[in-house]
Amino acid sequence: MRSLKGLGALGLVACALAAPSCGATDAPSSTATPGIDADDGAGARAGDDDGGAASDTGAPGADLACLGDEAPITLAGGLPYATVTIGEAPAYDASFLVDYGTNASTIDLSKFAPPGPAATGCDPTLLGQRCRFARFDFFGPWGPVSLYTDAHGAGGGVDQAGILGTDFTSRVAVSLDYARSKARRADQATFCAPADFAAAGMAPLSADGFFTNDVSKLRPLSDVIAGSAPSITVANVPTIPLRVAGVTAHAQLDTGFDDALVPFSVNVNEAFFDALAAAAPNALVRAADKDLSLTTCAGVNEPVVAYTLGPGAAVELVGEDGGAVRSFPGATLFVKRTPEAARRCGGIGTWTVPAAQVAASFYVALGLVAFDPFGSRVWIAAL
């Protein structure tokens, strides 16, 4: 399956096993917002021995009114799908993956009954086209929008017609309540204040410079890939500190990273692996039976080598105070060594600083994840 994450973030294509959904999201990214036209205006407790049990229906923070309006989502393999309405006269309802792992939203026009939503400004019979649609409704109307054409498969039984990337979800605060299969949406004026989250037992993970409603605040790509042009920024993707055995990396929170076959998967780059091997060699236990192979936008395979964690080691999601907000001792790390032929596809495998990608089962375990583009934070329960 080919993906337009390659257009939005020059990423990897999803494989049939554990892999980022349709792509890594850390490659050179423009500060444009392809989803919305410019003129539109618009875990487990630390020390537990398991990977992190699924949250119950009483997820901390779920009753916060300041999270905004709610709508149902469908969870398939831990991936969240929302129903959107697109087009007018006729209008169509369709399932879109809510994917914080890409900054470019897409649509698969083959998933609609004829004649399908009217697309203008493009050749809708081709993939990779930026098409304009007169109406788009996701928690209310967004007016005219632009989406890239792509081909999507069926995600765990869901007939996926598109991807909602951060070109939409950095404009509003979306919270994903995995425990209740709900999404919430609030604007900047009504979204929860830090004190509201603290009172509900939630703690912030900093995404400063990586996730924001103001793209002028994004970090230069040279912060993560040495020698990059200063005019290029990182992709607008929630990226927080993650720590293993005292070694910290930038970790992308990719809600579209399907790890149903190997739950609690974390992709790591060579810089992170090398730092871990040097600082705490006993923290990594080779698990050759879990090795995978990913496909890439270049048409070559990329092997990923698996490691489980040794006694006392855990994947820690690090809070703004430097402490572990949640800890997952049962995680599996997959080391990405991107082949030279696939480096043009981007991804954390091209980063020269320690980096990681966190898969879907983590968010299911957390129960509620509130993405705050206004404060460049992600809020999760502190247990």
- Tell me whether strands 247-253 and 324-328 are parallel, antiparallel or unpaired: unpaired
Per-residue pLDDT of the chain (383 residues; tens, 9 = 90+): 223 343 333 222 222 233 343 333 333 232 333 344 333 333 333 333 344 433 345 678 899 999 999 999 999 999 999 999 999 889 999 999 999 999 999 999 999 999 999 999 999 999 999 999 999 999 999 999 999 999 997 767 789 999 999 999 999 999 999 999 999 999 999 999 999 999 999 999 999 999 999 999 999 999 999 999 989 999 999 999 999 999 999 999 999 999 998 999 999 999 999 999 999 999 999 999 999 887 777 677 888 999 999 999 999 999 999 999 999 999 999 999 887 877 777 789 899 999 999 999 999 999 999 999 999 999 999 97
SS3 at position 199 = helix
| pTM exceeding the 0.75 threshold for the entire prediction | yes
- Provide CB contacts within 8 A for 188, sequence distance 6+: 173, 213, 374
CA angle 201, 204, 205 (to 5 degrees): 140
121/243 Cα distance (integer angstroms): 46
Provide the CB-side half-sphere exposure for 241 (13 A, CA): 16
Provide the CB-side half-sphere exposure for 229 (13 A, CA): 6
- Provide CB contacts within 8 A for 37, sequence distance 6+: 132, 144, 145, 146
Residues 55 and 178 sit within 8 Å (Cβ to Cβ): yes
Q: In the structure encoding, which two tokens stand for residue 25, read together?
A: 């999201």
151/1 Cα distance (integer angstroms): 7
Q: Torsion angle of alpha carbons 274, 275, 279, 284, nearest 10°? A: -50
Amino acid at 110: S
